[in-house]
Each structure stands twice: as structure tokens, then as C-alpha cells.
Amino acid sequence: MPRPPFRATTYHRYAASLFGIDGVILMGHKIVIPAAFQQSILNALHAVHQGLGAMCARAADSVFWPNITTDIARTRNQCAQCNRSSKVKRHTNTNQCHPS
Ligand SMILES: [Zn+2]
């Protein structure tokens, strides 16, 4: 049995802010993304390996689902490339703080 695109109980507290146009659910100016497409949106938000702040800023302008900020943080924290890069930057910063 296919999963419903939206769980009514999850969105109940946002009900006053939600409306639909041509089959698309909106909350304000943001598109409410069904669960089946959320990972694709997260991948797009992190496509250029931006940090958490930049990803959240991009999302805030365009998309919404409950707990989106938690999902964005998880996506960033699970990115091996970003984690390797941040370790190099920390190591570099440490060296800059203690010049020889
Ligand atoms: Zn990354």
C-alpha cells in the first residue's frame, strides 16, 4: 500500500496556514513538500556543499515540511565531503592560531 504524501496529524498544527492551488499545497509562499520528495530537496539544497545557514536560508525562501531544519542539519552532518573539509579548515585554523 503506497504511503500517503502527507500525514494529516503531522500537518494539523499548520492547518490554518495551509492552502492549495492546482493540487500544490502552500504555506505562505513556500511549497509544502511531500515526504516522497523531501530527500531530493535536501540533496538539491546541499548540491554545492553549502553550510547549514546557507541551506536553511535557501529553504526558508521556497520549501517547507515539519522538522525541515532537523533534516537539513542531518544532511549536512552526514556529508563526508563537508566533514573532511571542515576538519582540514579546523586543522589549518589551529596552525594559524599558533604560528611557528
Ligand atoms: Zn557536503
Residue 94: strand, helix, or coil: helix
Q: Which of 43, 67, 66, 38 is nearest to 55 (CA)?
A: 43
Q: Mind listing the pLDDT tens digit for each residue in 6-37?
A: 666 788 889 899 999 999 999 999 999 999 99
CA dihedral 38, 14, 11, 31 (to 10 degrees): -30
| Cα 72 to ligand 1 centroid, rounded to whole Å | 11
- What are 49's three cell numbers? 556543499
Strand partners, 21: 24
Q: Where are the domains of the chain?
A: 14-97
Please state which CATH class domain 14-97 belongs to.
Answer: mainly alpha
At residue 94, the pLDDT reads 40
| Cα 15 to ligand 1 centroid, rounded to whole Å | 34
| Cα 85 to ligand 1 centroid, rounded to whole Å | 9
Identify residue 95 by its one-letter amino acid code: N
Residue 27 vs residue 93, higher pLDDT? 27
Cα(42)–Cα(88) distance, integer angstroms: 24
| Cα 29 to ligand 1 centroid, rounded to whole Å | 27
